[in-house]
Amino acid sequence: MTNKLFIYNTLSRQKEEFIPLHENFVGMYVCGPTVYSDVHLGNCRTFISFDLIYRYLLHLGFKVRYVRNITDAGHLEGDRDEGDDKFAKKAKLEQLEPMEIVQKYSLGFHDVMRAFNTMSPSIEPTATGHICEQIEMIKVILTNGYAYEVNGTVYFDVEKYNKEYPYGQLTNRQLDDLLANTRELDGQDEKHGPLDFALWINAKAEHLMKWPSPWGWGFPGWHIECSAMSSKYLGDTFDIHGGGMDLQATHHTNEIAQSQACNHKAPVKYWMHTNMLTVNGVRMSKSAGNGFLPGELFTGNHRLLDKGYSPMCVRFFMMQTHYRSTLDFSNEALQASEKGYRKLMTAMELLDKLKASSTTTSDIITLKNNCYEAMNDDFNTAVLVAQLFEGVRIINSVNAGSETITASDLDTLKKLFNDFVIDVMGLMPEASAGNGIADGLMDLVLSIRTESKTKKDFATSDKIRDSLKQLKIAVKDEKDGTVNWTYEG
């Protein structure tokens, strides 16, 4: 088995062997949500992708410090470093304190993450909790000469920075190309250069969220929080920094610039970017208005959805695609995944009931190696899932008696499924279908059906089965005479 892990690094635009800065330890930072509204599914995909990455790193035995921030200040409506803060705007709209907005949507975010069975990060720092660190960092950048102050606002000097460091390296662009595509500065603009961005923003009197600083009352720019918090908890240089692809060109580019301007060190060894979620081929985004909320997806209460899909089904759906590919949401695709997911989980339940033989007809070791090979190749869950379905085939065949498996292979197979399905992919069996009354009723109804079958009264037994089917309850007669039933959502 290949035990080298390869990760696609956005910086080099190729897969690189993953070698942590400190043996056995991994520092990973992921840009978290801006909690001024409900998380939408695109956000979730990124966090689920990094949850998988976190889980696999843990599975490999690394001690991982996973930091995912919560942006609760400083995120402006526009790119021009002016206008309303998103939180303040929402607060006015909902007639709440900005921090009430933050609290409300932070809790909502955590609920959704829990529904998707993601693990909590090791640290989840907030921007408002790290104002001092951000101010200190800005002071150093100013001292180092990469920033300037105008009327209480501090700007990062991109052109100056670019003389020493390749500003556009993350997106493989030259500064001249970037400059050529910016809008003309209008007369009002305080910035020296069109690419310059704010590190600290002067607050107007009516502004609700503001803090004292050496430059007067104000609030931090959007990018500085990640630089300040990542270096605080992971050091000036750390292993992995992740986020959605849409953050690559601006947010992450500026993060690198800030950190280098402050520490004169590249902050990150491996940059990882997850791809976008699309709906009918169009990117799901807040501004396009084509996103559904996780809750709407679970209940099916949305015009684009035929029905609801459970969080685990959605998680499985995402696992069938590589994290760097776009994922298109459609009812057809979701329904296909739902069936596949159930097939996988049904096989897992069967696994515990399987009987060992003295011989094995299947190659479990190769299967296991293939699973590791898939994951070691830049976390290729699509291939992993395909391999696991080979395992499903084996499980069903052994159960049917057409293949056999030894006790030791069976143990390997059980561990393999537990490791990859439960621990690494983070899938869990859906909540059990029944409750006491339903179970009791079903036992009664099915026993009547079994009686009529024994009497060859198939009209009655089929009537029972057909009626149950109308209620979305599927009845299965097993070969050994037992009868199983399941809800079909």
Partner RNA sequence: GGUCGCGUGGCCGAGCGGCUAGGCAGAGGUCUGCAAAACCUCGUACAGCAGUUCGAAUCUGCUCGCGACCUCCA
Q: Report in angstroms how near the CB of residue 321 gets to RNA at its nearest.
A: 4
Nearer Cβ to RNA (144/335)? 335
Q: Report in angstroms how near the CB of residue 454 gets to RNA at its nearest.
A: 10
**Three-state DSSP class for 204?**
coil
**Residue 20 has which token pair?**
């942590």
Closest residue by Cα to residue 479 from 392, 338, 350, 340: 350
* 3-state percent breakdown (helix, strand, coil) of the chain, nearest 5: 45, 15, 35
Find out whether 388 and 348 touch, Cβ atoms under 8 Å: no
**Three-state DSSP class for 243?**
strand
Nearer Cβ to RNA (139/426)? 426
Q: Report in angstroms how near the CB of residue 102 gets to RNA at its nearest.
A: 14
Q: Report in angstroms how near the CB of residue 152 gets to RNA at its nearest.
A: 21
Nearer Cβ to RNA (259/275)? 275
Nearer Cβ to RNA (21/282)? 282
Nearer Cβ to RNA (45/139)? 45
Nearer Cβ to RNA (79/111)? 79
Q: Report in angstroms how near the CB of residue 65 gets to RNA at its nearest.
A: 20
Nearer Cβ to RNA (105/238)? 105
Q: Report in angstroms how near the CB of residue 243 gets to RNA at its nearest.
A: 4
Find out whether 424 and 55 touch, Cβ atoms under 8 Å: yes
d(CA 316, CA 300): 17
CA 244 to chain centre: 9
Nearer Cβ to RNA (291/426)? 291
Q: Report in angstroms how near the CB of residue 436 gets to RNA at its nearest.
A: 25
Q: Report in angstroms how near the CB of residue 215 gets to RNA at its nearest.
A: 22
Contacts 24+ apart (CB under 8 A), 451-455: none
Using the CB atoms, write b or e for 263-290: b if 16+ within 10 Å. Answer: beeebbbbbbbbbbbbbeeebbbeeeeb
Find out whether 409 and 368 touch, Cβ atoms under 8 Å: no
Alpha-helical (H) ranges within 362-484 are 364-376, 381-400, 407-417, 436-454, 458-470
Find out whether 49 and 305 touch, Cβ atoms under 8 Å: no
**Residue 261 has which token pair?**
């301007």
Find out whether 400 and 30 touch, Cβ atoms under 8 Å: no
Closest residue by Cα to residue 139 from 224, 196, 206: 224
Nearer Cβ to RNA (6/140)? 6
Q: Report in angstroms how near the CB of residue 280 gets to RNA at its nearest.
A: 9
Nearer Cβ to RNA (164/466)? 466
Using the CB atoms, write b or e for 299-328: b if 16+ within 10 Å. Answer: eeeeeebeebbbbbbbbbbbbbbbbbeebe
Nearer Cβ to RNA (136/477)? 477
Q: Which amino acid is at 403?
A: E
Cβ-Cβ contacts under 8 Å for 105 (sequence gap 6 or more): 33, 35, 36, 37, 38, 39
d(CA 251, CA 319): 27
Find out whether 85 and 207 touch, Cβ atoms under 8 Å: yes
Q: Report in angstroms how near the CB of residue 98 gets to RNA at its nearest.
A: 16
Q: Report in angstroms how near the CB of residue 418 gets to RNA at its nearest.
A: 19
